[in-house]
Amino acid sequence: MSTEPNRPSSLNGGTTPAGTPRGEAARDHLWGHMTRHSTWEHGEVPIIVKGEGHHIWDSRGKRYIDGLSGLFVVQAGHGRAELAEAARAQASELAFFPLWSYAHPQAIDLAERLAHHAPGDLNRVFFTTGGGEAVETAWKLAKQYWKLVGQPGKHKVISRAVAYHGTPQGALSITGIPGMKAPFEPLVPGAHKVPNTNIYRGPEALRDDPKAFGRWAADRIEEAIVFEGPETVAAVFLEPVQNSGGCFPPPPGYFERVREICDTHEVLLVSDEVICAFGRIGDMFACNDYGYVPDMITCAKGMTSGYSPIGACLVSDRLFEPFRHGTTTFYHGYTFGGHPVSAAVAMANLDLFEREGLNARVAQNAPVFRRTLERLLDLPIVGDVRGDGYFYGIELVKDAATRETFSDDEAERLLRSFLTPALLDAGLYCRADDRGDPVIQLAPPLTCGPAEFDEIEQILRGVLTAAWAQL
């Protein structure tokens, strides 16, 4: 137990079985992910204790709208008893068995179902426990594939500036956020970055012409492949809508051109749909929303709506072909990859999607979500509202006319010191992020509709108006 003076007492949150106030035990023993621990040391540890529908409650009993589905995860909303029941039933029947040379019914059924939703010949599913592992899997698989087909020099990857692809060292190499990588350098070599599809900050001459901008952005990928040498490049990793930086949708024609470039130079296209799959944009896989067929899809988060962890890398028949013969083996795996309980929960979650028509619901409501959030453009601090489906970013600026952004110090004060607590005080859980320019990220459960959009807009309006006043 801590004996340090001047630490805030945990107001609430109950006690641990050992009798320690939970906030105190969190400060002493829990290492938060991506967490600045000074905020726990000098402030209250936010402890979330319950979820129901699109609401969550903290340990003081305060209720919030979950404007981020936890972390782009809880598609079906909180408190779904049938998903909990699927986990219970599966744990009673077969709690665990690995996919190492064995199969179990839940992984087989889920693999078939995912393949059914995927486009083209993406018929093979390699399960992981999360998104970063799926990305890691895709890069390793791409490298071995090219070795097997006689192009052993193809090992490099291209991805986009500011994009986040996970924390394993390969996935982190693919990630385009220098500040997150620096503490761990040197990372896996051979990962090169190209501009993303942020048209709001794109070359000025192209900002009013999305098609030309899309062509320009896609051509940067070709430029990088040619510069590195196509005989050295294994794959391009792209999210359908890039999250980090604040929701950059693909401009018209972008993925068509990227597919063409990848085919020309024999480079694999990986659609990283860790956020965008399972209805976040509309379809089960967002590449279907944008009409392109990748060679691999990485996915995780929404597959179970978060009721149990799982991820997957979906692979085309063409890529799987050389692994089908003789002694060839993909020496890669995770003890918990494709866990029976998680696979059973994923099946129940996808049943729920079908029964409640969640994909169609997103397609129908997405324009209303956009229009509702665009009302915020009348605030001087709101520079851009962008996104697709149930996935939006709101970029905050110092001067909407010139698009001038905040200095690092201002962003720090605005996002961390003011916005994050102010949004929570006002009852909205979402994310104020500055991995690129300052943005507010929104991704509510797919069960939300116009009434919740209005509520979110009203809360944002109040908090952003106050933010502007205190600048």
Q: Which is nearer to ligand PLP, 127 or 164 (CB)?
A: 164
Q: Which is nearer to ligand PLP, 1 or 34 (CB)?
A: 34
d(CA 107, CA 385): 39
Q: Rule CB under 6 A: say whether 65 interacts with ligand PLP.
A: no
The three-class DSSP label of residue 310 is coil
Q: Which is nearer to ligand PLP, 239 or 395 (CB)?
A: 239
d(CA 87, CA 105): 14
Report in angstroms how near the CB of residue 300 gets to ligand PLP at its nearest.
5
Q: Rule CB under 6 A: say whether 131 interacts with ligand PLP.
A: yes
d(CA 251, CA 254): 6
Q: Which of 117, 165, 361, 435 binds ligand PLP (CB under 6 A)?
A: 165
d(CA 170, CA 174): 6
Report in angstroms how near the CB of residue 164 gets to ligand PLP at its nearest.
5
Report in angstroms how near the CB of residue 311 gets to ligand PLP at its nearest.
6
The residues facing 160 across adjacent strands are 194
d(CA 330, CA 446): 36
Count the residues in the chain. 471
C-alpha 397: how far from chain center: 24
d(CA 40, CA 46): 8
End-to-end C-alpha distance for the chain, whole angstroms: 40
Q: Which helix (H) or strand (E) holds 160?
A: strand 156-160
Interface with ligand PLP by CB under 6 A: which range of 100-108, 129-137, 375-383, 460-468? 129-137
Report in angstroms how near the CB of residue 140 gets to ligand PLP at its nearest.
15
Asked if 371 and 454 count as a contact pair (C-beta separation under 8 A), the reply is: no
Residues ≥6 apart with Cβ < 8 Å to 430: 67, 68, 423, 440, 441, 442, 456
Residues 225-254 binding ligand PLP (CB under 6 A) are 239, 243
Burial of 3 (0-12, 13-18, 19+ CB in 10 A): exposed
Q: Which is nearer to ligand PLP, 126 or 406 (CB)?
A: 126
Interface with ligand PLP by CB under 6 A: which range of 162-170, 185-193, 362-370, 418-426? 162-170
Report in angstroms how near the CB of residue 238 gets to ligand PLP at its nearest.
10
Q: Which is nearer to ligand PLP, 239 or 457 (CB)?
A: 239
d(CA 316, CA 183): 35
Interface with ligand PLP by CB under 6 A: which range of 75-83, 96-104, 130-138, 197-205? 130-138
Q: Which is nearer to ligand PLP, 297 or 376 (CB)?
A: 297
C-alpha 262: how far from chain center: 24
Q: Which is nearer to ligand PLP, 190 or 311 (CB)?
A: 311
Q: Which is nearer to ligand PLP, 23 or 130 (CB)?
A: 130
Q: Which of 114, 135, 270, 352 binds ligand PLP (CB under 6 A)?
A: 135
d(CA 370, CA 375): 9
Q: Which is nearer to ligand PLP, 336 or 406 (CB)?
A: 336
Report in angstroms how near the CB of residue 15 gets to ligand PLP at its nearest.
30
Report in angstroms how near the CB of residue 299 gets to ligand PLP at its nearest.
9
Residues 267-286 binding ligand PLP (CB under 6 A) are 272, 274-275
Tell me the CA distances in angstroms from 393 to 164, 179, 212, 377, 389, one per residue in order.
15, 21, 23, 12, 12
The three-class DSSP label of residue 1 is coil
Q: Which of 132, 190, 251, 282 binds ligand PLP (CB under 6 A)?
A: 132
Which residue has the CB atom at the shortest distance from ligand PLP?
Answer: 131
d(CA 463, CA 458): 9
Residues 299-358 binding ligand PLP (CB under 6 A) are 300
The residues facing 429 across adjacent strands are 66
Q: Rule CB under 6 A: say whether 166 interacts with ligand PLP.
A: yes
Residues 17-46 binding ligand PLP (CB under 6 A) are none
Q: Which of 130, 230, 249, 445 binds ligand PLP (CB under 6 A)?
A: 130
d(CA 419, CA 414): 6
DSSP 231: G
Q: Rule CB under 6 A: say whether 106 interacts with ligand PLP.
A: no
**Site residues (vs ligand PLP, CB under 6 A):** 130-132, 135, 164-166, 239, 243, 272, 274-275, 300
